[in-house]
Each structure stands twice: as C-alpha cells, then as structure tokens.
Chains A and B, each alone.
Chain A
C-alpha cells in the first residue's frame, strides 16, 4: 500500500487521541473548550456515520453529508472563537459570520453547486474565515499577555491546530472538485496531505485539551 494511501486511510485513528483526552478531562472542558469537545464528537460521529453508510448501506457518495458537516463544523469552531474573543472584538461579528455562512452554504447547495459534489466554495470560505479568526486569536494572546506560559494553555494549542489545518487545506478545498476529477495520483497525494494535517490538528487539540485547567 502506498504511503499516501496509508496516511489517508489511517488518519481517522488519530481522532482517538483527542477523544480519549476529552473523556479523561471532561469535567474541565468548560467555556471555550466545550465547543471543541462537541467538535471532536462531531468528527467522531461523522467518521462512524460515513463508514456505516459506505460499508453497511453501500452508499457511494456521502458528499451531501459534507455540506451539513461544513456548517456544523464552522458553527462549533466559531463558538470556540466567540467565547475566546468576545471581549476583544465586537460581540456581533461572529454570530453574523455564522448566519451569513449558513445562508451562503444553503444558497451554494441549492443554486451554485449540487449537494453531490464537493462544496468547494463553502469549504474554502470556511477555511479563510477560520484562518482569519485564528490570527485574531493569536493577536489577542500577544496583546493581552494573559498567560505566563503560553505553551501550557489550551487556547494556544487548539488555535494552532486550527490554523495549521485550515491554512494548509485552503488550496485543497479551492481545488477540491478539480483534484477529484483529474489526475488520480495528484488527488491521492493531495488527500494524503489533508489527512496528515488532520493528524496534526488532532494532536494539537489533544495537547490543548490536556492543558485544560492547568493554565497559568
């Protein structure tokens, strides 16, 4: 089996790491960590659900579910940033972003792209917005200097995980349909990179959750 395929196939196993940490530290997962816990739950549910659809019901195209997943994912990540940034940026910015994104995702699914193809526009927009929010979060940390040891805080690790995953995947999401329809080898490589970034994000989130309530 090629290494790229190996990474892509076994990457979801890395999800078990943040899931385990979240279960161990569940009583400390409050405030901005609550949406992160839900996000891990959503990922776990999606993985199981897609496998059940694929192997149990032989559904070949699970992309319609990705459209719903994208909206849920964006909402949960925005919830995380809303709690963290509420006293730093205007309170209404993030709720407006979520509402706007939801409308755009619906319009895209109905009028622009069909639900059976990769939702490149919402995925790209989602990545772009999350990268922006993560940069604002980094800026807030840098300006407020709330923590003496930033490397021992949940927000730093989780925010780094989101920045890495969404900035790395931005171009992949933009070119998603093109990659799926064109060269097989290139497509495999691209999705292996996606899986690699997913592994890193899961590790970063696990570290972040591990530091819950240990913040200085």
Chain B
C-alpha cells in the first residue's frame, strides 16, 4: 500500500514537473518567436528607412545641389529682378536641403552602426540642445554593448523620451545615464527630466501610447522598467536591460 502510494505520488510529481517544463519550453519558444518577429519587423523597417534616407541624400539632395548651381549661373547672367528671384530660390533650396538632411538623420541614427550607442545618443542630445533651451547631461559608464539591434531599440526609447520631454513636459534639464552597477546582470538606463510630470498610471490608460511603445520595446530586449512621476514632480524612468542581450552578437 505504502509502495503504491509512494509510486503514485512520484508519478504525479514527475508528471507535473514534465508538464511545467514543457510549458516553460513553449513559453520560451513563444517569446523567441515574438522576438524574432519583432526583430524582423524592426529590420525591415530600418532597411526601409535606410533606403529612404539614402534616396533622400543621394538623389534628392544631389538634384537640389545641381539646381542650386544652375540658379547661381542664372544669377550671374540676368537682371536685378531675376537676381532677387533666384536669391529666394537659393534660400528655399537651402532650406529644403537642410530639411532633407534632418529627415535623413532622423530616419537613420547617425553614427549608431559605426560608432555605437553612446555616440548616437550624444549626437541626439546635441541636436535637441541646439534646437531647444533644454540642458541635457548624458553620462555613460562601463558600457560595452555590441548588439546593434538591441542598441537601436534603446536609441529609439531615448528618442521617444526626449520627444515626450520636448513636446509635453516643459522640462529645462534632462539627465540620461547608462550604468552597469557592480555585480549586476543588467545595464541600468536612467532618464530623468524636471518637467511637469503627470499622474501615473492614469494617463497611461487614457493616452499613454508613447509609454506603451517604450514598454513594448523594453520587453522585446528582455528588459524591465520602473516609472516614477507625479504632477509637478518631474519624470524618471529606470530601464534594466540584461547584459547578455547587449553583449549578444546578432549574427
């Protein structure tokens, strides 16, 4: 009887263990599949952006440059009215070229692939500081990531956060940090502004698409995030990303 009872308990125990292990495997496969889907989408999106960026730069930009040269030639030969007109044309073409350059840079993070995440974020911060009165402090320690896809996700998160601070927060100071606390298995990415903040989680339910996007991006790189904000108390987000993900060679 005891032997039988023991046998049944052992059977049930082993059975449940196998079921759990199978479920875990299934979940892992699902997560992997989701990640592959995400990376696939991301890759096609980024490829498309690259293509558009190249086209804008190489074709439209070049065509505009040529047009500008022609206009310059007209200017040298024609009357005063034509000179005024061509002057305006030149200004417009210059403006268009600047716009194209800006759109092209926005689509393809400048320097991310060549010089890495730290450089790309610094560039982004410089651009924001030039375009606004916001003072940004970016601090990065001990960062050695190599996974370009994951880095692109982090870059887009920072871009989204900066965009939010610019559009809604009325912030004057922003602190961005990437650290690897000792003996931790995760990189800690912190972002803090001194803006107007908001009541969390209420806005998330109403119109928190930006936060949802950030949350989804964080999940895709197996990270976790904590958000701290209240009205008139600024905004702070802490994102943890496993070191293993950032050190993973994407090939």
The chain B residue sitting closest to A143, CB to CB, is B18
- A160 near B15 (CB under 8 angstroms)? no
Q: How far is the CB of B1 from chain A (nearest CB, A)?
A: 7
- B4 near A167 (CB under 8 angstroms)? yes
- A145 near B19 (CB under 8 angstroms)? yes
- B15 near A145 (CB under 8 angstroms)? yes
**Which of under 10, 10 to 19, 20 to 34, or 35 or more describes the interface residues of A?**
10 to 19
List the count of A-B residue pairs having beta carbons below 8 Å apart: 23
What's the tally of chain B residues with a CB closer than 8 Å to chain A? 11
Known: A163-B4, A164-B4, A167-B4. A148 touches B19 (CB 8 A): yes
- B4 near A145 (CB under 8 angstroms)? no
Per-residue B-contact encoding for A127-152, CB less than 8 Å = 1, 0 else? 00000000000100110010010110
Interfacial residues, chain B to chain A (CB-CB below 8 A): 1, 4, 8, 11-12, 14-16, 18-19, 22
- B11 near A168 (CB under 8 angstroms)? no
Known: A145-B22, A160-B8. A168 touches B15 (CB 8 A): no
Interfacial residues, chain A to chain B (CB-CB below 8 A): 138, 141-142, 145, 148, 150-151, 160, 163-164, 167-168
Q: Within 8 Å CB of A138, what residues of B?
A: 11
A150 to B19, CA, bound (A): 10
Q: How far is the CB of B25 from chain A (nearest CB, A)?
A: 11
The chain B residue sitting closest to A150, CB to CB, is B15
Q: Within 8 Å CB of A141, what residues of B?
A: 15
Q: Within 8 Å CB of B12, what residues of A?
A: 150-151
- B18 near A145 (CB under 8 angstroms)? yes
Q: How far is the CB of B21 from chain A (nearest CB, A)?
A: 10
Q: Within 8 Å CB of A164, what residues of B?
A: 1, 4
